[in-house]
Structure 1
């Protein structure tokens, strides 16, 4: 969500009060120096939620930030979010100040339904910002007795994190000068090992817009149909508020 004047942020909270929920911080856990797990509790009864839906927080007077839950249980009233800490920005500052027991206003989940249950094979590509979504998709895929693989481009300190989270995914180091390059280069070898996924699977490309473009272009050259590629850009270098 773009930056808004304070008066507009205040008006949104008042006029759209029915779109906000009161939640409480259950725990804040730093998994690495740049990735945090936030657990929330609240009354989520009756909420519509699907993998890929996002929630929002007003992180200061002028800024809102989107986050995609990695787990959501309306019956139990719990929500888990894996958050990439980019550094000195409004979102990172907001997360760094959170305390257990703190009460927050959260915009109700909404967005696109990304999971494609009619496909037996699923392929993930993304970065740290996609880890939460992929963790949730993995649970859906396992519950449906389906299969997944994929490749993630991550910073050095996060390369081992997918395995810690129970995800069987290939990892490559980010190339800041050519986003998506190393991941795209690995696709040909992966096709040799998983030809059925490239012929019949659905591909989820999530995270950095530049990386998504690179990997999508490579997949198209490899013969993957456009209809089997789902994309969701969470961020773009030099642009806030995607």
Structure 2
């Protein structure tokens, strides 16, 4: 008699990412606490009645952050129309995309980490922020959920990607294997990570080189010995560097293009950009 029973060990886990859409909402929130985590990272904790129902299911979700007018302190938010945001005649505020680092429904708080890369409006606001200040948050409009059932996981990023890396590490289950390659300016800019997964962590430092100009991420990846097996690779950093890292992973290291997600979280010389490198 032939036994056609399939054992659990032989079942290939579902590795298909899925997208989830969320109701579009715009919230006016209040700064609860401000923490200087490292010399180049400020953590802002927000709260407010509008925060109820906030949803962020993907570790690299992006919420749209709306900053108050620097002259008047007034915060302008759109309303939700049938085709998306509807702006008042007074115009639009300064906006940037940020990853929600942690949402605590029971405490009614939302944490955002601001990487201090330049003297732009987001950095200026974060450095001056104090409890009681207001900030607008829109979305996330959707989540991209990456399964955890790979042989191992690779996360690569600079300061701007630390919140997403922290979220992914926190959600990976015990027994998962993960390699993290993270770029910051110096040893003083390292942050602790919490995870149940088996973590191999390598920090690389720019040592004063302007962000977006240092080759340390690509140099370290090229020198890194990667584990065997099927892996999901995630990259988040300056756009040109993210594209080069993805090209190396797919072209030289055998990464499956369908399991390689690279994003330009920012682009040198440009403001308010977010690039996706799929090819």
> Do they fold alike, i.e. is TM over 0.5?
yes
In 2, are the aligned partners of 1:23 and 1:106 still within 8 Å (CA)? Answer: yes
Q: Does 1:187 align with 2:193?
A: no
Which of 242, 263, 271 is the aligned partner of 1:212?
242
Within 1, Cα distance between the matches of 2:257 and 2:115? 29
Q: CA deviation at 1:36?
A: 0.6
Q: Unaligned regions of 5+ residues in structure 1, if any?
A: 1-17
In 2, are the aligned partners of 1:179 and 1:210 still within 8 Å (CA)? Answer: no
The total of aligned residue pairs comes to 218
Partner of 2:62: 54
Q: Unaligned regions of 5+ residues in structure 2, if any?
A: 1-23, 70-92, 274-279
Q: So what's the TM-score if we normalise by structure 2?
A: 0.69
In 2, are the aligned partners of 1:130 and 1:207 still within 8 Å (CA)? Answer: yes
Task: Decide which moves more: 224-233 or 99-108.
Answer: 99-108
Structure with the larger helix share: 1
Partner-residue secondary structure (3-state), 2:47: strand
Q: CA deviation at 1:187?
A: 2.8
Partner of 1:76: 107
Within 2, Cα distance between the matches of 1:216 and 1:139? 24
Partner of 1:151: 181
Superposition RMSD on alpha carbons, in Å? 2.5
Report Cα offsets for 1:136-181 as digits up to 9, x if no partner.
1111014x6422112112212555x13x345752011236598573
Within 2, Cα distance between the matches of 1:103 and 1:59? 8
Q: CA deviation at 1:119?
A: 2.5
